[in-house]
Amino acid sequence: MAHVLDSSSVNFTIDPVVLDLGQRFVDAGFELSLVGGPVRDLFLGRTSPDLDFTTDATPDQTISVIKKWADNFWEIGRAFGTIGMKKNGFQIEVTTYRAEAYDPDSRKPVVAFGNSLTEDLLRRDFTINAMALRLPSLELVDPFGGVRDLHASELATPGAPEASFSDDPLRMMRAARFASQLGVSVHDDVRLAMSQMADRIKIISAERVRDELVKLINGAHPRVGIDLLVDTGLAEFVLPEVSALRLEADEHHRHKDVYQHSLQVLEQAAALETGADGPVPGPDFVLRFAALMHDVGKPATRRFEPGGAVSFRHHDVVGAKLTAKRMKALRFDNESIKAVSRLVELHMRFYGYGDAGWTDSAVRRYVTDAGPLLERLHRLTRSDVTTRNQRKADRLSFAYDDLEHRISALLEQESLAAVRPDLDGAQIMALLGLKPGPVVGKAYKFLLEERMEHGPLSPEEAEKKLLAWWEAQPESAVVDPSTETAAETKESS
């Protein structure tokens, strides 16, 4: 199907750089079409900072057309037929028509260049991405019903989904990602193929799976994407800890549905993200992924108590370890692993605050342990309330309001963001006549505990407490006599 688009039929604008590039290829005797996501986004009223084009020109011929036109260009993707460039702030990729297939046991594609736009579109992942806009004529080429599927909000493949997923199993992850980003449903044939071929995802590198997962989690509808992964069995290979949250049926209803609860917490956490100027600008992967993973320790810690209750003791600690292990397997960076697993570990810390009441010392520890994750922890903790018991929900909300108020009050009085002992290591060594070593660490830890328990101390008070502590330590009787304090050194001179 092909027809010429105009601004009256579709609300879109084409930047002059696109038309200019198209004209240059046509003048050189080649075809050029805008293709894939940028065309899809025209129908969705979105703009794409990156522009993808396809052409019958070879990479060498593409370079000859653009080398004097582009601001700069590069050939990193040349083996796959792709030449990249920048022009007027746009990132542009021009790829030769191709016939591409994956070796069933290989992670890398086998590339063969083609000479037909329609055949090129047939090999793309989904019909909504298999549309092209010929340039500069603006003729829409839509042989597989991409516009139809966009209007129906349905994800389908140009050819048989089994062939598409066999060529590139990562497309199964992309289906879940698009479900999250665009809120589209998945055609029954696509869902069935995903279920039957889920184990094929194992040949895809962890890094590529990770990148799709991040996009899914950061999408507008992450719950939909995760649900698709779990329902089709893909999560068994990508996020098995999440699949395990679907605990076997509990006919006595002694505990809530942990899986659905986790999805709700994910949704609620995303809803608490802030704008760009706020403390947690959305989409925030660390907060969202911690929300999804916060209860993954429950299956391993579930116990049926004699009275009929169900307990999950230490599921926070177990869950933090499982989260870190999964993120390492997916090749996440260390900073993200530490942040997400720490939030999972801390997500239960608040419970009991409303009943037992916390000392200022406990509040200081809460803030210090959270460190730079405090604002995310606030949102994760509030999101973890999914009870239908409104009285209980209100009680927990009021309790957390009170905790945040106390934190704010203490922050005004003390620098809780970076709690340190009132004497540093050098002052400790000078006062006690010590050389660097483990004993200095013990003294430092003692002063840190005092700071946590009692708040800031004056230098005189801190020295008095440290000396009293030191007198009770066995090491005080065996300090190296050759060590002099700063004061002794000054007197001897």
| CATH of residue 141 | 3.30.460.10
Please name the residue ranges forming H helices in 423-458: 425-432, 438-454
pLDDT tens readout for residues 363-422: 888 888 898 999 999 999 999 998 888 988 888 888 899 899 888 888 776 665 556 777
Last residue of a domain, one of 392, 417, 442: 417
Residue 187 inside a domain? The answer is no
Please name the residue ranges forming H helices in 239-359: 240-243, 258-271, 285-293, 298-301, 315-329, 334-346, 353-356
State the pTM of this model: 0.80
Residue 126 inside a domain? The answer is yes
Residue 209 inside a domain? The answer is no
In a 13 Å sphere around the CA of 334, the CA atoms on its Cβ side amount to 0
Last residue of a domain, one of 386, 417, 448: 417
Decide if pLDDT at 488 tops 90.
Answer: no
Task: Return d(Cα 348, Cα 86) in angstroms, integer.
Answer: 49
Q: What SS3 class is residue 110?
A: strand
Same domain flag for 328 and 431: no
pLDDT at 449 (0 to 100): 79
Same domain flag for 444 and 382: no
Least confident of 26-30, 145-149, 270-274, 464-468: 464-468
Decide if pLDDT at 147 tops 60.
Answer: yes
Same domain flag for 7 and 30: yes
Decide if pLDDT at 467 tops 60.
Answer: yes
pLDDT band at 186 (very low <50, low <70, confident <90, very high): very high
Same domain flag for 429 and 361: no
Decide if pLDDT at 54 tops 50.
Answer: yes
Same domain flag for 127 and 65: yes
Residue 185 inside a domain? The answer is no
Per-residue pLDDT, averaged over 223-236, amounts to 98
Per-residue pLDDT, averaged over 475-484, amounts to 56
Residue 90 inside a domain? The answer is yes
Burial 56-68 (b: 16+ CB within 10 A, else e): bbebebbbebbee
Residue 218 inside a domain? The answer is no
Residue 383 inside a domain? The answer is yes
Containing domain of residue 48, as a range?
Answer: 2-146
pLDDT at 108 (0 to 100): 62
Burial 375-389 (b: 16+ CB within 10 A, else e): bbbbbbbbbbbbeee
Same domain flag for 452 and 386: no
Find residue 78's DSSP bridge partners.
none
Mention every residue, 6+ apart, whose C-beta is less than 8 A from residue 436: 425, 429
Same domain flag for 396 and 464: no
Same domain flag for 353 and 457: no
What token pair was written down for 194?
A: 């995903």
Report whether 264 contacts 371 (CB < 8 A): no
pLDDT at 115 (0 to 100): 86
Q: What SS3 class is residue 60?
A: helix
pLDDT at 270 (0 to 100): 98
Same domain flag for 342 and 442: no
Task: Return d(Cα 372, Cα 439) in angstroms, integer.
Answer: 29
Residue with tokens 């005189």: 460
pLDDT at 122 (0 to 100): 93
- Spatial CA neighbour of 455 closest among 369, 362, 350: 362
C-alpha separations of 92 from 31, 53, 95, 111, 248 in Å: 16, 8, 10, 21, 50
pLDDT at 155 (0 to 100): 97
Last residue of a domain, one of 394, 417, 440: 417
Q: What SS3 class is residue 220?
A: coil
C-alpha separations of 368 from 99, 106, 372 in Å: 56, 47, 9
**Number of domains the chain is built from:** 3
Mention every residue, 6+ apart, whose C-beta is less than 8 A from residue 433: 479, 483, 484, 485, 488
Residue 318 inside a domain? The answer is yes
Same domain flag for 377 and 442: no
Same domain flag for 451 and 340: no
Same domain flag for 394 and 429: no
Report whether 81 contacts 95 (CB < 8 A): yes
Q: How far is CA 366 from the centre of its chain?
A: 24
pLDDT tens readout for residues 406-447: 888 887 766 655 567 778 888 888 888 888 888 888 888 888
